[in-house]
Amino acid sequence: MELTHFNEQGRARMVDVSEKAQTFRVARAEATVCMAKATMDKIKEGTIGKGDVLAVAQVAGIMAAKKNSELIPMCHPLLLTKVDISFSIEDTALHIFSEVRCRGETGVEMEALTAVSVAALTVYDMCKAVQRDMRIDNVHLLYKEGGKSGVYEAEGETWRK
C-alpha cells in the first residue's frame, strides 16, 4: 500500500485531492463514557453543577467536527452538510454517536471520530467534580460510505441509517 502522506523527501504532506470527484460522504462513530450510576443519575436529573451535560456535549461534538482540520494536521477543511450527535444512556455508560455528512473529494471519518471524542471529553469535564475516575472507551468508526473505497460497516453497528 502506497503511503500518500509523504513527499519525495519522506516528509509529511497533505494529499492532493483536487483531481478527485465530489461524491456524497457519510461517516458514523461512537464513543462510550463509563461512570458510576450515581454520576449518570445526576446527568439524567440535570443536577450536575455545570449545567445540562448532554446539551453542552452535543454542541461541543458539532463544533469539533467543524474544526477537525484545525486539530488533525493532514485533514482537509470540508464543507459539512450535516453533523448530528446523539446519546444512548445505560446505568453506568453513556454511548455517544455522531453522524457527519458532506459532498466532497474526501471522507468525513475523522470528523465523525473527532465529534464523539470531544463530546466524551466534554462529558468528563462537566462531571469531573462528581467523579474523577470516569473512563472514555471504545472510540471507533461504525460506518462510512462514499469515495472509491466504498462502504465500511463495523460488525455489530449500533446506530443504523
Choice among 16, 41, 52, 125 that is catalytic = 125
Nearest to 146 by CA among 111, 114, 116, 106: 106
Grid cell, residue 95, equals 454511548
Helical pair 37-45 and 109-127, crossing angle rounded to 10 deg: 100
- 150-160 tens-digit pLDDT: 899 998 765 54
Grouping H, G, I as helix, E, B as strand and the rest as coil, residue 88 is: strand
pLDDT for 13 equals 81
How confident is the prediction for the chain on average, in pLDDT?
Answer: 92
Q: In this predicted structure, what is the pLDDT of residue 161?
A: 42
Q: Cell numbers of 84, please? A: 448530528
pLDDT for 158 equals 57
Is 125 labeled as catalytic in the residue annotation? yes
Residues of the chain with pLDDT > 90: what percent? 79
CATH-assigned architecture of domain 23-146: 2-Layer Sandwich (3.30)
What is the distance between the alpha carbons of residues 20 and 105, in angstroms, rounded to a whole number?
5
What pLDDT was estimated at residue 2? 58
Q: Is the pLDDT of residue 68 over 90?
A: yes
The pTM (predicted TM-score) of the whole model is: 0.91
Interatomic CA distance for residues 87 and 63, integer angstroms? 17
Report the half-sphere exposure of 3 (CA within 13 A, side-chain side).
9
Distances from the Cα of 145 to the Cαs of 1, 86, 114, 118, in angstroms?
A: 21, 20, 17, 23
d(CA 75, CA 143): 19
pLDDT digits (tens, 9 = 90+) for 6-53: 777 878 888 888 888 899 999 999 999 999 999 999 999 999 999 999
Report how far apart the first and last C-alpha atoms of the chain are (Å, whole number).
Answer: 31
Could you tell me which residue, 155 or 131, shows the higher pLDDT? 131
